[in-house]
Amino acid sequence: MFSINMTGQNKLKSILDPTKYASAARTAFGQAHTGSLLQASKLVSTRFNLTPQFLLAGGNGSQPIIQAGPIASDGLSSSITVKQGGISLIYFGAVAERTTSQKRKVGNVKVQIKRGKTTKLRQFMVRTSTGQTSVFRRAGKGRLPIIQSAVSASALVNSPSIIRPLSDFFHSSINSAFSAQLKKQGVIQ
């Protein structure tokens, strides 16, 4: 979860009209919050092989991967939450690779989790009873049990290469949106 707070506003709040300040702050925070959600999906999709639409809407009717948390009653704090659990490797473009060796049939799957880097995994694809195809791996040395392979959704978003630019984007957008709202209300020139 990425928390968003607007701090350091006490001095400004005491100088300006409280109703105009509160209105401008809430509107600016809402605009910056929405923009940060879109920016988070763009940052993740530039590094990993997922589209921003998939991150914001989810796949096959599932819940969104990245979603906006509620804005607090004061209008100055919120969060961006990430879906718990994993994202199936199918959404990263997993493709079964056929082997020509008759002696030993080993299932291999090629998948591109990070953009531009294809990885070969010693796993296999199976169509489940619900009709969806998924990537599985063996849990032990035996044939059974098998476990579905997935990538942690929070690991995609919680890396410093995503969090730092997202924080910088939010701070720049909240400052510009707040000053624009104050100009719109005629508080500043």
Mean pLDDT, residues 123-136:
84
Residue 189 belongs to a domain: no
Same domain, 63 and 11: yes
Domain membership flag for residue 33: yes
Q: What rounded mean pLDDT belongs to the chain?
A: 80
Same domain, 114 and 56: no
pLDDT digits (tens, 9 = 90+) for 23-71: 887 888 888 888 888 898 899 999 998 888 888 887 666 778 888 777 7
Token pair in block for residue 37: 């959600």
Single pTM value for the model: 0.74
**Can you give the residue range of the structural domain that contains 71?**
2-85+153-184
Give the mean model confidence (pLDDT) for residues 174-179.
Answer: 83
- Per-residue tokens: 79: 């969060």
Are 80 and 157 members of one domain?
yes
Model confidence at 6: pLDDT above 60: no
What one-character-per-residue DSSP string does the chain give? Answer: -EEEE--S-HHHHHHS-HHHHHHHHHHHHHHHHHHHHHHHHHHHHHHBS--HHHHHH-STTPPPSEEEPPPPTTSSEEEEEE-SSEEEGGGGT-EEE----SS----EEEE-SBTT--EEES-EEEE-TTS-EEEEEESSSSS--EEE-EEEHHHHHSSHHHHHHHHHHHHHHHHHHHHHHHHHTTS--
pLDDT of residue 7: 56
Percent of the chain residues topping a pLDDT of 70: 81
pLDDT confidence bin for 4, thresholds 50/70/90: low
Q: How many domains does the chain have?
A: 2
Are 165 and 75 members of one domain? yes
Same domain, 77 and 120: no
pLDDT in tens, 86-109: 888 888 888 887 766 555 555 688
Domain match, 74 and 165 both: yes
